[in-house]
Amino acid sequence: MSYVTTKDGTQIYYKDWGTGKPVVFSHGWPLDADAWDPQMLFLLQHGWRVIAHDRRGHGRSSQPAEGNEMDTFADDLAAVIESLDLKGATLVGHSTGGGEVTRYVGRHGTKRVAKVVLIGAVPPLMLKTEANPGGLPIEVFDNIRAGVAANRSQFFKDLAVPFYGYNRPGAKISQGVIDSFWGIGMLGGIKSEYDCIKAFSETDFTEDLKKFNVPTLFIHGDDDQIVPIGASAAMASKLVKNSTLKVYAGESHGICTTQPDRVNADLLAFLED
């Protein structure tokens, strides 16, 4: 397997397929690079080079006790991009990975970046504060922490249901998707996954978004029960110049899995534009 070793000795697993223009994927919590299988296979078949890594503490990467916060996540992404000497890359981030990509732009700029896609992404800020009244109360994230700490196996089985909108009337439930979500989640380290809850919920990406200077596409389901659109993409897209917001009516947080054909078509059109 392929790894990049970061400055603090953490090994970041990545996969790198194809020889075309690079598209780099950052996954959501508590998943890993395999969450991007439908997008990576599709774009590879259409002539693009596709790269995805497992965030530290997730999937096949090392499980360090430290560094499980957005600045380090962004620097780990930079380590992958720089190790592969990628240029003119499109960065695609889902959920927590959208925060990782956003912080990468804030910290490292866009000298290696041509475009950005944020799907169901957490920016600008998930947590409810005086300055962000539309966010979610801290109790929501405290409950997630409690669930992970007490019995993360059961918690992940339960979380998969609203994650993919399987608790909605008429939903076509896939037990395979639920099992995959659970299996990938359990592959990660509990310390990293626990710390990551604070990272994705309490990090303010407002200033990072203001630094975007490349074409940016936001995709978000308006029935996202995990990252509600009103406090995320609806606000973030207004902070990014030259951005487009595509709203998937009635769709869930896990649209890359539940609506792969639609996401893939929108990605390809944006890449080829």
Annotated catalytic residue within 26, 62, 95, 201: 95
Structure tokens at 223: 């029935």
CA distances from 204 to 46, 139, 171, 175 (A): 36, 18, 33, 35
Cβ-based neighbours of 138, under 8 Å, separated by 6 or more: 127, 128
Annotated catalytic residue within 27, 76, 253, 266: 253
CA distance 260 to 263: 5
Question: Which one-letter amino acid corresponds to residue 46?
Answer: H
Assess whether 253 carries a catalytic annotation: yes
Annotated catalytic residue within 62, 224, 232, 243: 224
Please state, as a whole number, how many other Cβ atoms lie within 10 Å of the Cβ of residue 122: 31
User: Residues 118, 144: contact at Cβ < 8 Å?
Assistant: no
CA distance 107 to 94: 19
Active site residues: 95, 224, 253
